[in-house]
């Protein structure tokens, strides 16, 4: 007799019931909705909620509910047309607010209490924002050469090699040496500073070309980067910016984002279901950092502002309200020495808790020890690249904004941990996010933006659902007609397989995209392949004269190796697609891989349980498995 142990039957039942429970939130669907937030980041109030209701009622726009959730107001609508009309009305009626199209799940409260959520939807299904950024590769190389110039000047000074100045013209560094007898020492310093110095010692290609020449009548050197170094620094800038943008996207909490290089100098960013496109663009494109400087308490800032000439050793900057502030030119700590930044409330006031690395901590410790009870300022520096067209060519101009966001008296001695105060909650959250995510290696600017609305995403969902159901029904009808009771068993397994795929996508919160739906449709066909192999093997055993019970046992046991080989090779292919693919390719690989795993379980173990329950507890003379010709 064909019988499974009781624990196997219970295991299959638990898996199917558990999968159905996890997949259940997906049957309720979503409501077209609007999410309204304040531009300054402050939480919404019941008063604003009442204003939203009044604005919609005045224009007689039908809505389902207006609920205050966290720091936003979510307005649900019965249909997409009402949602779009409501977006236009609230966009005009609610100045200084961000009105974003979104989808709000209709999951019942008891499922939410259990922590069950519907699967995440990708950009093409849920809607969202697509950004295409161009990286300023010339700026990346210019920054590198400026750093090289500074390092060379410092090293020559440390070695007491007198020179006529280290000048940078374009990408060429020129230095004249006043001590002609120390030319060899100077050249050694120049070559040690070569970023490819270690590769050069191993016989590799140097990163710079060094030529002896005459500079302003002095013997000297002309230093310029090689083409190899130029390409390397450009690739580094692309890679660093890609990593930084990915970190910033992760901080935004977007599920399954796409951040990848496109072509020579562009980066594509896709944010499925993003709630605040304005904030996303601000966070992704900004290059912000902070600088800590001592305030020049010995000179009058208003006098410097009136004359336009700050004292030697000081720089003139302004606070938000326009108050002039004199700062020492010597930098204490810069943003690249920060290791963490967190937005908090300190004594009821918004603040950013900052942590420095050891180098920055030592510098801050020395400064606070030497300047106790003296003022120190926090300078917020933001670079905003602009794309301009001049003489038919596109050029990039960086606008640098420097604002004193905080001036405080040093009341104690501190080093690696301290707080930045004097920021609004909105500014504090953005500043903490930017500092924590890292700085861009070089400026970027947006060349393309596309917003995909939920209505278009719903159309894709409907078409994808129709494709899955059509494929499912055709397979079900064929299997039932051709293999009879065994075909109906395979149909049950196929339905369970779809439920388990949806359950796993919901558990993992992996984004479902159109390519993912294609993977599910492919899985529907592949899931039946295993049962076809098993059923044909059973038929062959019956033709060979074996008893029905022996044929069932032999069919499942002998077909297993073939099924395993076929599915393992497909799983390897799906794994390769997932590892090396990005975005849509990964979505296809995810559903294909999950479908292979679940189909192995349902087609082999699941159908065997059902067949055993039908035939395993009685004597069988004939199997309903279609026509068996001898």
Question: CB-side exposure of 465: number of CA atoms within 13 Å?
Answer: 11
DSSP 8-state code for residue 170 = T
CB contact at 8 A, 272 and 249: no
pLDDT of residue 84: 79
- Condensed to tens digits (0 to 9), the pLDDT of residues 42-85 reads 788 888 888 899 999 988 899 988 888 777 888 999 887 888 78
- Condensed to tens digits (0 to 9), the pLDDT of residues 201-237 reads 444 457 788 888 888 888 889 988 888 888 887 887 7
CA angle 463, 465, 470 (to 5 degrees): 95
Element containing residue 589 per DSSP (H, E): helix 584-600
For 106, 300, 500, the CA distances from 116, given in Å and listed in that order, are 12, 62, 14
User: Residue 302 corresponds to which tokens in the numbers above?
Assistant: 């208003």
Q: CA 568 to CA 526: how far, in whole Å?
A: 12
Q: CA 628 to CA 630: how far, in whole Å?
A: 7
- Counted residue by residue, the chain has a size of 630
Q: Shortest CA distance to 375 belongs to which of 482, 295, 458, 259? A: 295
Q: CA 153 to CA 168: how far, in whole Å?
A: 11
pLDDT at 314 over 80: yes
pLDDT bin (cut points 50, 70, 90) of residue 456 is low
Query: Mean pLDDT highest for which of 229-238, 262-271, 429-438, 498-507?
Result: 498-507
Question: CB-side exposure of 595: number of CA atoms within 13 Å?
Answer: 26
pLDDT at 163 over 90: no
pLDDT at 473 over 60: yes
CB contact at 8 A, 516 and 122: yes
Q: DSSP E strands: which ranges in 115-202? A: 128-135, 163-169, 172-177
- Condensed to tens digits (0 to 9), the pLDDT of residues 15-26 reads 999 999 998 888
Residues 6+ apart with CB under 8 A from 527: 493, 494, 497, 595, 598, 599, 602, 603
Q: Of all residues in the chain, what percent carry a pLDDT higher than 90?
A: 5
User: Residue 224 corresponds to which tokens in the numbers above?
Assistant: 């310029």
- Condensed to tens digits (0 to 9), the pLDDT of residues 335-349 reads 667 767 777 887 788
Number of neighbouring beta carbons within 10 Å of residue 323: 13
Strands 128-135 and 97-105: unpaired
For 219, 231, 296, 552, the CA distances from 156, given in Å and listed in that order, are 15, 28, 30, 86
CA angle 507, 512, 518 (to 5 degrees): 125
Q: Shortest CA distance to 258 belongs to which of 128, 100, 117? A: 128
Residues 6+ apart with CB under 8 A from 198: none
pLDDT of residue 203: 47
- Condensed to tens digits (0 to 9), the pLDDT of residues 347-357 reads 788 888 888 87
pLDDT at 517 over 60: yes
**Greater pLDDT, 492 or 342:** 492
pLDDT at 325 over 90: yes
List % helix, strand, coil for the chain (3-state, nearest 5). 50, 25, 25
Q: Shortest CA distance to 602 belongs to which of 499, 515, 509? A: 499
pLDDT bin (cut points 50, 70, 90) of residue 500 is very high
Longest dimension (CA), the chain: 109
- Condensed to tens digits (0 to 9), the pLDDT of residues 521-569 reads 888 777 888 888 888 888 888 888 888 888 888 888 888 888 888 888 8
Q: CA 257 to CA 269: how far, in whole Å?
A: 7
pLDDT of residue 21: 92
pLDDT of residue 148: 80
pLDDT at 612 over 60: yes
Strands 349-356 and 417-421: antiparallel
CB contact at 8 A, 106 and 419: no
Bridge partner list, 66: 75
Mean per-residue pLDDT, 109-125 = 78
Number of neighbouring beta carbons within 10 Å of residue 275: 19
Quick one: residue 486, left, alpha or beta (phi over 0 = left, psi -120 to 50 = alpha)? alpha
pLDDT of residue 524: 78
pLDDT at 38 over 60: yes
- What are the φ and ψ backbone dihedral angles of 310, each rounded to 5 degrees? -70, 150
3-state secondary structure of 162: coil
pLDDT of residue 315: 92
pLDDT at 316 over 90: yes
Residues 6+ apart with CB under 8 A from 250: 257, 437
Element containing residue 37 per DSSP (H, E): strand 30-38
Question: CB-side exposure of 133: number of CA atoms within 13 Å?
Answer: 27
pLDDT at 251 over 60: no
DSSP 8-state code for residue 353 = E
Q: CA 375 to CA 502: how far, in whole Å?
A: 60
Element containing residue 240 per DSSP (H, E): helix 227-252
Q: Shortest CA distance to 451 belongs to which of 272, 218, 191? A: 272
Number of neighbouring beta carbons within 10 Å of residue 481: 10
Mean pLDDT estimate for the chain: 80
pLDDT at 256 over 60: no
Domains by residue range for the chain, with CATH: 6-25+453-615 (1.20.1640.10), 30-105 (3.30.70.260), 138-231 (3.30.70), 288-436 (3.30.1360.200)
Residue in the block written with tokens 């750093």: 147
Residues 6+ apart with CB under 8 A from 623: 485, 486, 538, 542, 548, 551, 552, 615
Strands 72-76 and 30-38: antiparallel
Residues 6+ apart with CB under 8 A from 82: 32, 61, 62, 63
């Amino acid at each position: 007799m064909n019988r499974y142990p009781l624990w196997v039957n219970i295991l299959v039942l638990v898996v199917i019931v558990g999968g159905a429970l996890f997949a259940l939130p997906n049957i309720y669907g979503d409501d077209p909705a609007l999410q309204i937030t304040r531009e300054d980041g402050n939480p919404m109030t019941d008063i604003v909620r009442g204003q939203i209701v009044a604005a919609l009622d005045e224009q007689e726009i039908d809505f389902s509910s207006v609920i205050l959730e966290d720091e936003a107001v979510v307005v649900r609508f019965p249909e997409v047309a009402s949602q779009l009309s409501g977006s236009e009305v609230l966009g005009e009626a609610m100045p200084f607010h961000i009105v974003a199209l979104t989808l709000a799940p209709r999951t019942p409260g008891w499922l939410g209490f259990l922590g069950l959520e519907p699967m995440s939807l990708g950009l093409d299904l849920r809607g969202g924002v697509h950004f295409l950024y161009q990286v300023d590769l010339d700026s990346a190389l210019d920054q590198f050469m400026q750093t090289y110039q500074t390092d060379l000047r410092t090293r020559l000074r440390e070695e007491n090699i007198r020179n006529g100045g280290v000048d940078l013209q374009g990408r060429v560094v020129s230095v004249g040496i006043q001590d002609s007898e120390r030319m060899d020492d100077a050249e050694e310093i120049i070559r040690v500073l070569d970023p490819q110095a270690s590769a050069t010692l191993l016989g590799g290609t140097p990163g710079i070309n060094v030529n002896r020449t005459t500079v302003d009548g002095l013997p000297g050197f002309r230093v310029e980067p090689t083409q190899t170094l130029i390409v390397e620094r450009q690739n580094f800038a692309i890679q660093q910016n890609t990593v930084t943008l990915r970190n910033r996207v992760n901080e935004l909490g977007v599920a399954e984002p796409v951040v990848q290089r496109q072509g020579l100098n562009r980066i594509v960013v896709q944010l499925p279901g993003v709630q605040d496109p304005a904030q996303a663009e601000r966070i992704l494109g900004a290059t912000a950092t902070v600088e800590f400087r001592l305030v020049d308490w010995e000179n009058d800032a208003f006098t410097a502002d009136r004359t336009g000439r700050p004292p030697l050793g000081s720089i003139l900057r302004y606070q938000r309200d326009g108050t002039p502030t004199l700062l020492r030119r010597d930098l204490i700590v810069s943003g690249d020495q920060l290791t963490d930044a967190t937005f908090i409330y300190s004594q009821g006031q918004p603040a950013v808790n900052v942590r420095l690395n050891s180098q920055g901590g030592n510098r801050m410790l020395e400064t606070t020890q030497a300047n106790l009870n003296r003022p120190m300022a926090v300078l917020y520096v933001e670079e905003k690249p602009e794309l301009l067209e001049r003489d038919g060519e596109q050029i990039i101009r960086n606008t640098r904004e420097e604002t004193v966001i905080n001036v405080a008296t040093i009341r104690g001695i501190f080093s690696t941990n301290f707080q930045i105060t004097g920021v609004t909650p909105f500014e504090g959250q953005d500043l903490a996010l930017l500092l924590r995510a890292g700085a861009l290696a070089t400026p970027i600017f947006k060349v393309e933006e596309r917003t995909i609305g939920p209505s278009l995403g719903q159309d894709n969902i409907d078409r994808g659902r129709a494709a899955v159901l059509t494929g499912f029904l055709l397979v079900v009808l064929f299997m039932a007609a051709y293999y009879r009771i065994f075909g109906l068993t395979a149909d049950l397994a196929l339905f369970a397989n779809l439920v388990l795929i949806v359950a796993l996508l919901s558990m993992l919160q992996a984004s479902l995209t159109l390519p993912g739906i294609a993977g599910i449709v492919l899985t529907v066909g592949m899931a039946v392949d295993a049962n076809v192999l098993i059923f044909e093997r059973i038929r062959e055993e019956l033709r060979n004269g074996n008893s029905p019970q022996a044929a069932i046992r032999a069919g499942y046991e002998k077909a297993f190796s073939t099924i395993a080989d076929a599915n393992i090779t497909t799983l390897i292919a799906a794994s390769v697609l997932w590892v090396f693919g990005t975005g849509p390719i990964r979505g296809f690989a995810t559903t294909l891989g999950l479908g292979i795993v679940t189909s192995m379980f349902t087609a082999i173990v699941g159908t065997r349980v059902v067949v055993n329950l039908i035939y395993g507890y009685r004597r069988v003379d004939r199997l309903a498995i279609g026509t068996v010709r001898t």
